[in-house]
Amino acid sequence: MVLLHQKHVHCNGQHGDYLKPSESGIIEFIRQNFLGGEDLTDDCGIIPSPSSGETLLATSDIMESGQHFRLEWHPPKMLGRKLLAVNLSDLDASGARPLGFLLTIALGSDIDSEYLQQLLEGLATAARGYNIPIIGGDTVGRKSGLGLGITAFGVAKRRLHRCGVLEGDNIFVDTMPGASHTGLQKLVSGERWVPESPDHDILVHLDPRPEIGLGVKLAEIPQVHACIDLSDGLSKDLRMLAVASGLSIVIGHNLSDDALYGGEDYSRCFASSLDAESLQKLTGRKFHTIARAVPKTESPLLRYSDGNILPVDDKSFGHFVIV
């Protein structure tokens, strides 16, 4: 990948009152405002090397206006923070600490300079908060809308996979899913984010704050066997754990349909032979037990219903469904 076309940067240029919505304007803003931005002087960036005994991991996500977010209801600073948080959440669920990231922006002519600058300010603030430098990226123009992409790199001493669930394992989450889906439904129905009267569900959807670092702590516990980031909906993510591990998972009684079929929760969902009390003693925090791994049945995902255990339909988010 060509990294931000650095040959177009005016290295001695001054930052103006607002961001110029052009390739050179974006680059100059990044160089002056992002952790690691001052090092972007060539066409190739440097990925920090892992230490001995660490594995280098990478993850990549794309967010498209109209598909993953709506420009008219997503405040740009929140969008910038969310863009980075959802990528780091994937790394963290693998037991990795973040090292750096690449940023890609496809900028429509209808995106004004104020929205773009606030978006990048939110992203820069998040990167400083997570202490993760930008190491490169790319920019391109397009007719309309906004496309955003991040590729993030991290290192893990012990990598957590999806395929490690064992029969009899309890399945936990660090936060109960469902609030983000409720927030999305409120936005679809016409409600909007109002800072003066904040709505918890809408905030969770627009500005998720996954507990980055928790996955690294879980990876240090040998009895934690697998982990996944909840993004596309619990029903899909539990199904992926079950299929990858060659068994079935039975969901408990304490999950609503919003929790089961919603998405964008960005919680650690993990399997362990320990119980919740033992995990709390080891980590200092509480977890919610939501399911249990059982021998493989005709369906990878099951739930209790009227005294019976029945297969769970997959109604989760589809990335190729145009909305």
Q: What would the pLDDT profile of 157-192 be if each residue is shown by its tens digit? A: 999 999 999 999 999 999 999 999 999 999 999 999
Q: Is residue 249 part of a domain?
A: yes
Q: Is residue 186 part of a domain?
A: yes
**Looking at residue 302, which CATH number applies to its domain?**
3.90.650.10
**Looking at residue 149, which CATH number applies to its domain?**
3.30.1330.10
Q: Does position 12 have pLDDT exceeding 80, yes or no? A: no
Write down the pLDDT at residue 17: 58
Q: Which residues pair with 269 in a beta bridge?
A: 173, 228
119 with 206, same domain: the answer is no
- The pLDDT tens digits for 94-120 are 999 999 999 999 999 999 999 999 999
Quickly count: other Cβ atoms within 10 Å of residue 143's Cβ.
7
Write down the pLDDT at residue 94: 98
Look over the chain and give the mean of its residue pLDDT values, rounded to a whole number.
Answer: 90
| pTM given for the model | 0.89
Write down the pLDDT at residue 143: 94
- Rounded to the nearest 10 degrees, the angle between the axes of helix 113-130 and helix 23-33 is 30
Please, which pLDDT band fits residue 313 given cuts at 50, 70 and 90?
confident
> Within 13 A of 118's CA, how many CA atoms are on the CB side?
11
d(CA 186, CA 202): 7
Instruction: Using the structure block, give the residue that is written with the tokens 């090092």.
Output: 39
Please, which pLDDT band fits residue 317 given cuts at 50, 70 and 90?
low
More confident residue, 53 or 11: 53
Write down the pLDDT at residue 4: 39
25: its two tokens = 């304007």
Q: Does position 10 have pLDDT exceeding 50, yes or no? A: no
- The pLDDT tens digits for 127-164 are 999 999 999 999 999 999 999 999 999 999 999 999 99
Q: Is residue 137 part of a domain?
A: yes
- The pLDDT tens digits for 212-251 are 999 999 999 999 999 999 998 999 999 999 999 999 999 9
Q: How many domains does the structure of the chain reveal?
A: 2
Class of residue 157 by CB neighbours under 10 A (exposed 0-12, middle 13-18, buried 19+): middle
Q: Is residue 163 part of a domain?
A: no
Q: Is residue 161 part of a domain?
A: no
143 with 204, same domain: the answer is no
d(CA 87, CA 207): 13
Q: Is residue 165 part of a domain?
A: no
Please, which pLDDT band fits residue 320 given cuts at 50, 70 and 90?
very low
12 with 150, same domain: the answer is yes
Gyration radius of the chain over CA positions:
21
d(CA 321, CA 323): 6
Residue 166's H or E segment, with its range, is none
Please, which pLDDT band fits residue 256 given cuts at 50, 70 and 90?
confident
Q: Can you tell me the mean pLDDT for 279-304?
A: 95
> Within 13 A of 254's CA, how many CA atoms are on the CB side?
10
Q: How far is CA 310 from CA 196, 224, 231, 262, 307, in A?
A: 45, 27, 24, 19, 10
Q: End-to-end distance of the chain based on CA atoms, in angstroms?
A: 29
Q: Does position 3 have pLDDT exceeding 50, yes or no? A: no
DSSP state letter for 313: P
Write down the pLDDT at residue 316: 60
253 with 150, same domain: the answer is no
Least confident window among 180-189, 298-307, 311-320: 311-320
Domain extent at residue 270 = 170-311
285 with 198, same domain: the answer is yes
Q: Which residues pair with 146 in a beta bridge?
A: 107
Q: How far is CA 173 from CA 8, 69, 188, 273, 276, in A?
A: 46, 25, 27, 14, 10
Which residues, including other chains, have CB under 8 Å from residue 190's CB and lie 6 or more apart?
none
d(CA 185, CA 205): 10
Q: Can you tell me the mean pLDDT for 255-268?
A: 90
154: its two tokens = 């991290």
Q: Is residue 162 part of a domain?
A: no
Residue where a domain terminates, one of 133, 156, 179: 156
Q: Can you tell me the mean pLDDT for 67-92?
A: 96
135 with 187, same domain: the answer is no
User: Would you call 271 helix, strand, or coil by DSSP?
Assistant: strand
CB contact at 8 A, 192 and 250? no
174 with 306, same domain: the answer is yes
Write down the pLDDT at residue 8: 32
Q: Can you tell me the mean pLDDT for 60-87?
A: 96
pLDDT > 70: what percent of the chain?
A: 91
